[in-house]
Structure 1
């Protein structure tokens, strides 16, 4: 029989492995410079994590003394494993990113590089490749985005000066290169990359096993819509739901929730996503309050996006709701958004679609029934009941569209 001490140690190790696995899912590149504690945790459990990621998800984990890199494969079909750091990458930006990677590997490049020299090398390589670059503001923003991702992922470190200083004031900056990580940054050689998604996802097998692809979709997405599942995946979700829930909780600490419209896997003991929502900041607060404002509209739900149920809201309705919210909260919100309604709407919609809580088309926004999980509820404070605040509740039954998804999640105002 195992002793109480060994049992406690085993339980602690299992908890750490689940935490480390979720860290890697949210941030597939961890470096000693930016994430020393997280990297130490991953390296401590690297053998077990490599086995779990390979068996459960078909992912490859590379660990070295100064970094950890989780190489993901597509979540199923043509859908890549999501990573929000790259959300909004235009084809031109992805081309600049590839050129930046190539420039760092150019002969004669040392351990540090001036940002002006780095940019010159990118422009020279672009000219050689027949890619037209100019010095316009839009082109500069794309360069900043591409180089900023290399900084975010730890390939580059701002040693003296900043990328922002170069972008806004043409100030020089010295960048240090973390060379050991660079060969592992992309999931495949540059010559094999034909589209943006290929940058981050390793090629998957021609015929994917539905259990594995379903697990990938559940751990990578805030919400998996039922219509986005293949028929074999829906069959696995229906027939093997209990086994699936056990495996997700055992290896990743994720709790599985299944409803008529889809499924989600969420962590009960900490964050599990690279998207913070609800949370602080103008965009997150506006998105949370917009959900409530739109759900208070009169009228029955519709089915505007194929078989998925949802609540259609026209763009004028969305703009009117956001305008009212901006007027009410303008003093607390960023002037960059309150002074630019188009930017506010664009950023809010991008957040809601990234969370799979909404879809957008030319006519308007379509809220998924799961959005009701995040609906704030006004509750009077005891004993005077004079002060009301936005808070979270777990109602036993608060269905938005009949007996479907209920508002049952923790929330924050």
Structure 2
């Protein structure tokens, strides 16, 4: 497969092609305005080669039109790490996702333009027919959630503000209004499901991995399907652990062709260790989340991760208990089960529970025939984690955000969520399991850097000097660039 990647791209143009690959992988929807004004031209230049390589290597389908480029991913797992974001940068909740889908449906029934208030009334009428949802334009909470959905579409170019202000409408819908132009081409590209949603009976039916193991496929087709799944596993996750992969993927993950394909396709480096394989993005050109990174949560997570790694490496009577981690199939079943419980109990979804039970039985049967050795990981208790978080806050809290500094339980929870998203730990009942990649940060050191105190001369006729306004500001925690990573 590796000989076919970028085969029509010259050595001089390979870096530009790889830039286009990273662009479309990071932004599955590209329009004349999103993510920036030049992105669409970059992708369209390489559209033909991109379509070939993304399908051959990853099983992804690229659809291009005059004003859009839409990447249809093949999804093997449920990924909670790439949510839609509100205007304030917070992940969408269920209400906002519901408003987004209802807004898309309502826009399909409008002409070239729509007023925000009119669109809100249309969405409210649909939302009223859904138990537990509703949209009351008289409540600012509901208006905020609705405008977050509208703003998400506006950012991507499906809507263009022609007049007025959405923020003013949120504040006072009786006195303010906003008028939007509707871009039909972008609107169509936003929602292009790869499944007939009316036939979906559970969340796992949205995934592609079940079809990848079809016994009706020929051996060559099965190998191609497995190779694509393995490449997607490495591309879409911080690390692919051999112990966590399906048995049919282990050989593909270890094959030299995988590293060659992904390196030539993305321009990034594939790093192999005894426990697994990772696509290393040191520049942040592809990753949607950087670690180490800036901000209170990322910095606290790094410091806590270093302490967890040190504790995990202890031996003798201080050695932590070793426990098996939930497998990828078990984590998927648990997450899918919790999502399915929120689906409507009537209509096409009523088979969700039965489908999930059948899937679990099949998984248990497959695992029962496997002779894979169970891998165990150091278990770190919640009480220990709370104590270390308190120590970190006391030592470095001067540079933390005030709301998190005053709520250590929330800080711990968000830091562990980040570590889990980066495949550094697995959250389990009563604590976490330390995964092998966490050892990379065992020797991390940090320091609080004091802000310089600037002396300024007072106005004429005065004597002495005063400190600048910034002199009284709290010390700042180290920037991300000051992290000392022993692995580098």
Task: Tell me the TM-score normalised to structure 1 length.
Answer: 0.77
2:307 corresponds in structure 1 to 293
The CA distance in 2 between the partners of 1:86 and 1:309, in whole Å, is 35
Match of 2:186 among 181, 203, 208: 181
2:322 is aligned with 1:305: no
Shift of 1:166: 5.8
Shift of 1:61: 0.7
The farther-off stretch of 354-363 and 341-350 is 341-350
The farther-off stretch of 367-376 and 273-282 is 367-376
Question: In terms of Rg, which structure is larger?
Answer: 2
1:253 corresponds in structure 2 to 267
2:33 is aligned with 1:33: yes
1:233 corresponds in structure 2 to 249
Match of 1:281 among 290, 295, 304: 295
The CA distance in 2 between the partners of 1:169 and 1:225, in whole Å, is 52
Aligned 8 A contact 2:379 2:431 in 1: yes
Aligned 8 A contact 1:30 1:67 in 2: yes
Match of 2:112 among 85, 110, 113: 110
1:191 corresponds in structure 2 to 198
2:410 is aligned with 1:343: yes
1:224 corresponds in structure 2 to 240
Deviation per CA, 1:334-386: give whole Å up to 9, x if none: 22322333432332222222222221122112231202224463399xxxxxx
Distance 1:363 1:104, change over 3 A: same
Distance 1:361 1:370, change over 3 A: same
Deviation per CA, 1:185-232: give whole Å up to 9, x if none: 234255355556778989965636211110111111111232331111
The farther-off stretch of 355-364 and 180-189 is 180-189
Unmatched 5+ stretches in structure 2: 1-8, 86-90, 215-221, 327-373, 448-477
Shift of 1:173: 4.5
Alignment RMSD, CA only?
3.6
Shift of 1:256: 1.9
Aligned residues: 374
Distance 1:358 1:313, change over 3 A: same
Distance 1:165 1:359, change over 3 A: farther
The CA distance in 2 between the partners of 1:266 and 1:204, in whole Å, is 29
The CA distance in 2 between the partners of 1:323 and 1:250, in whole Å, is 45
2:48 is aligned with 1:56: no
Unmatched 5+ stretches in structure 1: 1-8, 381-388, 395-407
Shift of 1:254: 2.8
1:324 corresponds in structure 2 to 391
Distance 1:257 1:83, change over 3 A: same
The farther-off stretch of 357-366 and 341-350 is 341-350
The CA distance in 2 between the partners of 1:167 and 1:303, in whole Å, is 51
The farther-off stretch of 334-343 and 143-152 is 143-152
2:258 corresponds in structure 1 to 244
Deviation per CA, 1:281-333: give whole Å up to 9, x if none: 22211211221232333543523415454332222222332233233333332
Aligned 8 A contact 2:47 2:64 in 1: yes
Deviation per CA, 1:3-30: give whole Å up to 9, x if none: xxxxxx9223211111211222222112
Distance 1:309 1:40, change over 3 A: farther
Deviation per CA, 1:95-130: give whole Å up to 9, x if none: 333212112212x3433431x333222121123455
2:340 corresponds in structure 1 to none
Shift of 1:182: 1.8
Distance 1:270 1:98, change over 3 A: closer
Distance 1:379 1:274, change over 3 A: closer
Helix, strand or coil: the match of 2:83?
A: helix
Distance 1:260 1:341, change over 3 A: same
The CA distance in 1 between the partners of 2:166 and 2:413, in whole Å, is 25
The farther-off stretch of 312-321 and 38-47 is 312-321
The CA distance in 1 between the partners of 2:131 and 2:157, in whole Å, is 29
Aligned 8 A contact 2:307 2:442 in 1: no
